[in-house]
Chain A
C-alpha cells in the first residue's frame, strides 16, 4: 500500500498519520505538499487533521481551494481511495467531495476525549475487515465537528449506506450522551456515493498503538491495506 499524506499549511496531524503508516503498518508513505498537482502512483491519499489556514474563514475552506485538491478531485474521480480525518473531513466537504458540512460543536467548545463509534457499513475498502456493527474506541479532538446535512440528503445517505461511522456508547447504542458534538443522527463519518472517499471526525491514526490507549483505529488501515493488496493481485493476475 502506497500512502500519500497531504500537508496543507496548518495541518498538524500529518506526522501522526505518517508515523502510523510507516512505523506501525510498515507500509510506504510520503508527504505531499499542498502545491503538488499530481498524485500518480498512490493507492491511498490521507487528508490529515489540523487547522488549515487557521480555519479562520471556515474549517477547511481555504485548503479545499489549494492546487493539490484539484489533483485529489481527479484521483477520487478515477476511483482512488481518499480518507479525510478531522480537518481532512472538513476539507473534503468544503471541496464538495463529500456531502454535508461540519458546524461548531453544540457545546461551543473544543472537545478532546475518547469516543465510541459503530461501523455502519463494513463493505467499503475502508471498513471491510471490520465485523458488522463493530464498535471502535478512538479519540476526537475538534471544535467544528457537528455533522450537518439537509434532511433529504441525510435520507439519501442512510438509504445508500453512506453513513459509515456513528457515535455510540460503549454498548453500541447511538444515544445522545455518546455524541461529542451534536451531529445529526450521531453521524461521525460519511462516504461519497461511490464509496471511495471517506471522512470522519474521530482520529483512527491516534488509536493504532496499545500505549496510546486503543488499537481500534487499525481496522480502518488494515482494511485499506487488504483492499490495495487484493487490487494488486488482480492487476498482476
Chain B
C-alpha cells in the first residue's frame, strides 16, 4: 500500500496500517446498555480476539 501511495505521487508516507471500520445503528434505552451490547458484539463476532483489538465510540442519534 505504501508503494501504491508512492506510485500515485504521495511522498513521505511511512508505516501504513490497515484496519476495519464498522458503523452500526443500535437501539438502546441507555448509553450503558448500548456500550454493553456493543462490547458483546465486538467480542463475539465483529472482532476476533486472537488476532484483533477493538475500540469503539458511541454517538447518540435520533431516528
Q: Are A and B co-members of a single complex?
A: yes
Instruction: Identify A57's interface contact among B46, B50, B51, CB under 8 A.
Output: B46
Interface size on A, residues (CB 8 A): 12
Tell whether, in the assembled complex, residue B51 and residue A94 are in contact, meaning their CB atoms are under 8 Å apart. no
Which of B20, B46, B48 has the most chain A CB atoms inside 10 A of its CB?
B48
- Residue in chain B with minimal CB distance to A102: B51
Residue pairs across A and B with Cβ atoms less than 8 A apart, 7 shown, are A61-B45, A65-B45, A94-B48, A100-B50, A101-B50, A148-B51, A149-B50
- Residue in chain B with minimal CB distance to A56: B20
Which of B20, B45, B50 has the most chain A CB atoms inside 10 A of its CB?
B50
Interface size on B, residues (CB 8 A): 6
List, in ascending order, chain B residues with CB within 8 A of A94's CB: 48
Tell whether, in the assembled complex, residue A148 and residue B46 are in contact, meaning their CB atoms are under 8 Å apart. no
Q: A residues within 8 Å of B by Cβ?
A: 57-58, 61, 65, 93-94, 100-101, 103, 148-150
**Closest 9 interchain pairs by CB?**
A101-B50, A101-B51, A101-B48, A103-B51, A58-B48, A148-B51, A100-B50, A65-B45, A61-B45
Docked complex Cα distance between A150 and B48 (Å): 13
Contact with A along B29-63 (1 / 0, CB 8 A): 00000000000000001101011000000000000
List, in ascending order, chain A residues with CB within 8 A of B51's CB: 101, 103, 148
List, in ascending order, chain B residues with CB within 8 A of A100's CB: 50
Q: B residues within 8 Å of A by Cβ?
A: 20, 45-46, 48, 50-51
Docked complex Cα distance between A65 and B41 (Å): 13
B30 to chain A, nearest CB (A): 27
Docked complex Cα distance between A149 and B48 (Å): 12
Docked complex Cα distance between A94 and B43 (Å): 12
Q: A93-B50, A94-B48 are in contact. List 9 more A-B contacts (CB 8 A).
A: A57-B20, A57-B45, A57-B46, A65-B45, A100-B50, A101-B48, A101-B50, A148-B50, A148-B51
Docked complex Cα distance between A226 and B1 (Å): 49
B19 to chain A, nearest CB (A): 12
Docked complex Cα distance between A34 and B4 (Å): 39
Docked complex Cα distance between A57 and B51 (Å): 13
- Residue in chain B with minimal CB distance to A94: B48
Docked complex Cα distance between A101 and B50 (Å): 6
Docked complex Cα distance between A89 and B51 (Å): 16
Which of A58, A61, A93, A94 has the most chain B CB atoms inside 10 A of its CB?
A58
Docked complex Cα distance between A103 and B51 (Å): 8
List, in ascending order, chain B residues with CB within 8 A of A103's CB: 51
Tell whether, in the assembled complex, residue B48 and residue A61 are in contact, meaning their CB atoms are under 8 Å apart. yes
B42 to chain A, nearest CB (A): 12
Docked complex Cα distance between A94 and B52 (Å): 12
